[in-house]
């Protein structure tokens, strides 16, 4: 075999390997449940149950997706450099722009040693009109053959940002079922813990004048008093931790049954943090075995008559998964 033929053969083998590592053309982004950010992960990576992203736990390979405010892009563009990475124990290698349909983006590569394991690191920062995506990739040297740079680079190029997360998908992230939304929209979800329902529009700018629409927080937490005699004080202590209230005055505090279980209700008056908007608040605590359900509904005093029945509809439609 001549030198020229050997060179051509080597080039063809390289092309085949690179193409094999890349996602198929037209590969669709996979969105981890609850995430607006998605991409087409390399073969071998599955959606993680532990974080927003993808992982191959057997090879310690992970792609982590983080949604940040729009303003974060400019800050990361300015500060994600060799010095900043060095403070995190990462050795900077290179930075380059990445063409994405969502907007401006760049990727920074480096390496890091953790417990004597050398990791290849990637940091993709992508802008959009609604959020900044930060994607962190780690690949141990031992897994480089399975996840070569070409495969990671191709996967990052498929990053997309969807406008919203479907409501059913958001509600699937909490350990209870909401059978009735009572006309509220899902305003936020804390996976595994809580959901906020609100009448406030999603696109409202956070500018004066202050307007407060009815909203209700539904959360589950471990623990709770075993003795019924302790539940009233527990509910009052819990109410004292409710944020964004000022000048609160408890109007009533009494036990009641909620969906056939022991519970407690607190009604109170107060103001928003500025002290200018009069509010009425209801807290319900539904006690269970080893855990309790905590609901806090808040509305302007003028809106209370219409809001309270809706809060009750949400409360009475909650079931465990």
pLDDT single digits (tens) 182-197:
999 999 888 889 999 9
| Residue 202, pLDDT score | 72
Cα–Cα separations (whole angstroms), residue 268 to 144, 162, 253: 60, 40, 9
pLDDT of residue 197: 96
pLDDT band at 203 (very low <50, low <70, confident <90, very high): low
How much is the pTM? Answer: 0.70
Whether 165 has a pLDDT exceeding 50, the answer reads yes
How high does pLDDT run on average in the chain? 89
What pLDDT score was predicted for residue 320? 86
Cβ-based neighbours of 197, under 8 Å, separated by 6 or more? 178, 181, 182, 184, 185, 186, 187, 215, 216, 217, 218, 314
Q: Give the residue range(s) of CATH 3.40.1000.10 domains in the chain.
A: 12-161, 167-320
Residue written as tokens 């075999």? 1
- β partners of residue 287: 292
- For the ranges 25-39, 104-118, 160-174, 288-302, the lowest mean pLDDT is seen at 25-39
CATH fold of 12-161 reads Protein Transport Mog1p; Chain A (3.40.1000)
**Backbone torsion region of residue 275, taken as left when φ is above 0, otherwise alpha when ψ lies between -120 and 50, otherwise beta:** left
167-320: CATH class: alpha beta
By the 8 A CB rule, do 142 and 59 touch? yes
| 137, two tokens | 């990739």
Q: Say yes or no to pLDDT of 284 above 60.
A: yes
């Amino acid at each position: 075999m001549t030198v020229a033929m050997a060179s051509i053969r080597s080039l063809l083998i390289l092309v085949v390997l690179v193409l094999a590592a890349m996602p198929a053309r037209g590969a669709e982004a996979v969105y981890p449940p609850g995430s607006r950010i998605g991409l087409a992960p390399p073969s071998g990576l599955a959606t993680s149950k532990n974080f927003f992203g993808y992982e191959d736990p057997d090879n310690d390979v992970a792609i982590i997706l983080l949604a940040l405010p729009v303003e974060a892009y400019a800050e990361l563009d300015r500060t994600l450099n060799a010095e900043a990475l060095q403070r995190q124990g990462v050795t900077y290698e290179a930075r380059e722009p990445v063409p994405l349909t969502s907007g401006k983006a760049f990727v920074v590569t480096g390496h890091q040693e953790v417990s004597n394991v050398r990791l290849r690191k990637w940091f993709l920062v992508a802008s959009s009109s609604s959020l900044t995506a930060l994607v962190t990739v780690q690949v141990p040297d031992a897994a480089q053959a399975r996840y070569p740079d070409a495969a990671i680079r191709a996967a990052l190029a498929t990053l997309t940002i969807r406008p919203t997360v479907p409501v059913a998908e958001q509600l699937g992230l909490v350990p209870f079922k909401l059978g009735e939304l009572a006309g509220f929209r899902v305003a936020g979800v804390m996976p595994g813990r809580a959901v906020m329902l609100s009448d406030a529009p999603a696109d409202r700018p956070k500018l004066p004048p202050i307007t407060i629409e009815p909203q209700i927080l539904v959360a589950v937490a471990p623990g709770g008093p075993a003795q019924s005699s302790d539940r009233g004080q527990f509910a009052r202590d819990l109410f004292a931790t409710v944020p964004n209230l000022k000048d609160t005055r408890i109007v009533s505090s009494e036990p009641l049954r909620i969906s056939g279980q022991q519970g407690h209700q607190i009604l109170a008056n107060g103001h928003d943090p500025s002290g200018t908007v009069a509010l009425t608040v209801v807290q319900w605590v539904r006690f269970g075995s080893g855990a309790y359900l905590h609901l806090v509904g808040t509305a302007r005093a003028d809106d209370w008559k219409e809001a309270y029945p809706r809060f009750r509809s949400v409360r009475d439609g909650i079931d465990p998964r």
